[in-house]
Chain A
Amino acid sequence: MTDRWERDVPVYNVPIWTKPFKVLMSLGGIALLLTLYREVVGLGPASGMNDAYAWGIWKTFNVMTLTGLGSGAFAIGISAWLFKQSKLHTVMRIALLTSFLAYLSGLIMIGIDVGRPWNIYWLVTPWNWNPHSPLLEVMFCMPAYAMLPLLLENVPPVLEYFHRNKPGTREFVEKCEKIIIAGYPFIVALAYILPAMHQSSLGALMLLAGDKVNPLWQTPFLPLLYVWAAAYLGVCCVAGTLLFTCLMWKRPYDMDVLVLLNKICAWLVGTWILFRMLDIVISGRLGFAFSADIFAGLFWMEMLFLGVGLYMLIDSAKLRNARLMFHAHVLIGVGGLLYRFNPTTLAFQPKPGAFYFPSAMELLISIGFVSLAIAGFCVAVKLLAILPAPTYTWFQMEAHESKLKALNRDEKVGELVTANNFSD
Chain B
Amino acid sequence: MPTDGTLPKAPADITIGESLERSGVSRRDFITLCSAVLATAPMGLALTEKVKTAEQLANTVAKAKKPSVIWLHFQDCTGCSETLLRASRPDLADLILNVISLDYHETLMAASGYQAEKCLKDAMAANLGKYILVCEGSIPTKDSGEYLYLAGQKGIDRLKDVASKSAAIISMGSCASWGGIPSSGPNPTGATGVDQIISDKPVVNLPGCPPNPYNLLGVVLEYVVLGKLPALDQYGRPKFAYDRVIHDHCPRRAHFDAGRFVKQFGDEGHRQGWCLYKMGCKGPGTHARCSTVHFNEMPDCWPIGIGSPCVGCTEKSIAFKVPIFQTIDIHGVTPPDTYPLINARVGSVGTVAAAIAGAVAGGIGTAAWMASQKLPDTPAPEIKDDKKSEGGQ
Write the residues of chain A forming the contact surface with B, with a CB cutoff of 8 angstroms: 2-4, 6, 48, 50-53, 243-244, 247-248, 253-256, 319-327, 330, 351-360, 362-364, 367, 390-392, 395-396, 398-399
List the B side residues contacting A355 at CB < 8 Å. 345-349
**A353 to B142 Cα, complex, angstroms:** 57
List the A side residues contacting B378 at CB < 8 Å. 321
Taking the closest CB of chain B, its distance from the CB of A1, in whole angstroms, is 9
* Besides A355-B346, A364-B356, 16 other A-B contacts (C-beta < 8 A): A2-B381, A3-B388, A4-B383, A6-B389, A48-B353, A50-B346, A50-B347, A52-B346, A321-B378, A322-B377, A323-B377, A353-B343, A354-B343, A355-B348, A357-B348, A358-B357
26 pairs from A and B in contact (CB 8 Å cutoff):
A2-B381, A2-B383, A50-B346, A320-B379, A321-B377, A321-B378, A323-B377, A324-B377, A326-B371, A330-B368, A355-B346, A357-B347, A357-B348, A357-B354, A357-B357, A362-B353, A363-B356, A390-B388, A391-B389, A391-B390, A392-B388, A395-B391, A395-B392, A395-B393, A398-B392, A399-B392
**A326 to B370 Cα, complex, angstroms:** 11
A-contact bits for B372-392, CB 8 A (1 contact / 0 none): 111111111101010011111
Q: Is B151 an interface residue (CB 8 A)?
A: no
Write the residues of chain B forming the contact surface with A, with a CB cutoff of 8 angstroms: 341, 343-350, 352-357, 360, 368, 371-381, 383, 385, 388-393
List the A side residues contacting B349 at CB < 8 Å. 355, 357
**A230 to B393 Cα, complex, angstroms:** 40
Residue of B nearest to A27 (CB): B360
**A131 to B220 Cα, complex, angstroms:** 82
From the candidates B345, B380, B389, name the one contacting A321 in the complex (CB within 8 A).
Answer: B380
Contact A367 B360 (CB under 8 A): yes
Known contacts A52-B346, A321-B380, A322-B375: does B353 contact A358 (CB below 8 Å)?
Answer: yes
**A219 to B371 Cα, complex, angstroms:** 38
From the candidates B341, B343, B353, name the one contacting A357 in the complex (CB within 8 A).
Answer: B353
List the B side residues contacting A256 at CB < 8 Å. 383
List the B side residues contacting A391 at CB < 8 Å. 388-390
Contact A354 B346 (CB under 8 A): yes
Residue of A nearest to B378 (CB): A321
Residue of A nearest to B355 (CB): A360
From the candidates B374, B377, B379, name the one contacting A247 in the complex (CB within 8 A).
Answer: B374
Q: Which of B353, B385, B390 has the most CB of A within 10 A?
A: B353
List the B side residues contacting A362 at CB < 8 Å. 353
List the B side residues contacting A392 at CB < 8 Å. 388-389, 392-393
**A340 to B391 Cα, complex, angstroms:** 47
From the candidates A330, A359, A398, name the one contacting B350 in the complex (CB within 8 A).
Answer: A359
From the candidates A4, A247, A398, name the one contacting B375 in the complex (CB within 8 A).
Answer: A247
Contact A243 B380 (CB under 8 A): no
Contact A360 B371 (CB under 8 A): no
List the A side residues contacting B389 at CB < 8 Å. 4, 6, 390-392
List the B side residues contacting A351 at CB < 8 Å. 343
Taking the closest CB of chain A, its distance from the CB of B149, in whole angstroms, is 65
List the B side residues contacting A330 at CB < 8 Å. 368, 372
Q: Which of B347, B349, B371 has the most CB of A within 10 A?
A: B347
Residue of A nearest to B379 (CB): A320
**A2 to B376 Cα, complex, angstroms:** 11
List the A side residues contacting B360 at CB < 8 Å. 363, 367
**A401 to B354 Cα, complex, angstroms:** 47
Residue of B nearest to A362 (CB): B353
Known contacts A50-B346, A354-B346: does B380 contact A320 (CB below 8 Å)?
Answer: yes
**A412 to B93 Cα, complex, angstroms:** 124
**A48 to B353 Cα, complex, angstroms:** 9
List the B side residues contacting A353 at CB < 8 Å. 341, 343-346
List the A side residues contacting B357 at CB < 8 Å. 357-358, 363
List the B side residues contacting A6 at CB < 8 Å. 389
Contact A3 B343 (CB under 8 A): no
Contact B371 A4 (CB under 8 A): no
List the A side residues contacting B348 at CB < 8 Å. 355, 357
Residue of B nearest to A243 (CB): B375
Taking the closest CB of chain A, its distance from the CB of B362, in whole angstroms, is 13
**A363 to B363 Cα, complex, angstroms:** 14
Contact B380 A356 (CB under 8 A): no
Residue of A nearest to B357 (CB): A363
List the B side residues contacting A358 at CB < 8 Å. 353, 357
From the candidates B350, B356, B374, B380, name the one contacting A255 in the complex (CB within 8 A).
Answer: B380
Residue of A nearest to B393 (CB): A392
**A4 to B386 Cα, complex, angstroms:** 10
List the A side residues contacting B390 at CB < 8 Å. 391
List the A side residues contacting B354 at CB < 8 Å. 357
List the A side residues contacting B350 at CB < 8 Å. 48, 357, 359-360
Residue of A nearest to B354 (CB): A357
Residue of B nearest to A49 (CB): B347
List the B side residues contacting A4 at CB < 8 Å. 383, 385, 389
Taking the closest CB of chain B, its distance from the CB of A368, in whole angstroms, is 11
**A322 to B380 Cα, complex, angstroms:** 7
List the A side residues contacting B355 at CB < 8 Å. 360
Taking the closest CB of chain A, its distance from the CB of B368, in whole angstroms, is 5
**A207 to B379 Cα, complex, angstroms:** 45
Residue of B nearest to A5 (CB): B383
Known contacts A322-B380, A326-B371, A390-B388: does B356 contact A52 (CB below 8 Å)?
Answer: no
Contact A363 B374 (CB under 8 A): no
Q: Which of B346, B354, B380 has the most CB of A within 10 A?
A: B380
Residue of B nearest to A357 (CB): B349
Taking the closest CB of chain A, its distance from the CB of B365, in whole angstroms, is 9
Contact B371 A52 (CB under 8 A): no
Known contacts A357-B350, A395-B393: does B383 contact A326 (CB below 8 Å)?
Answer: no
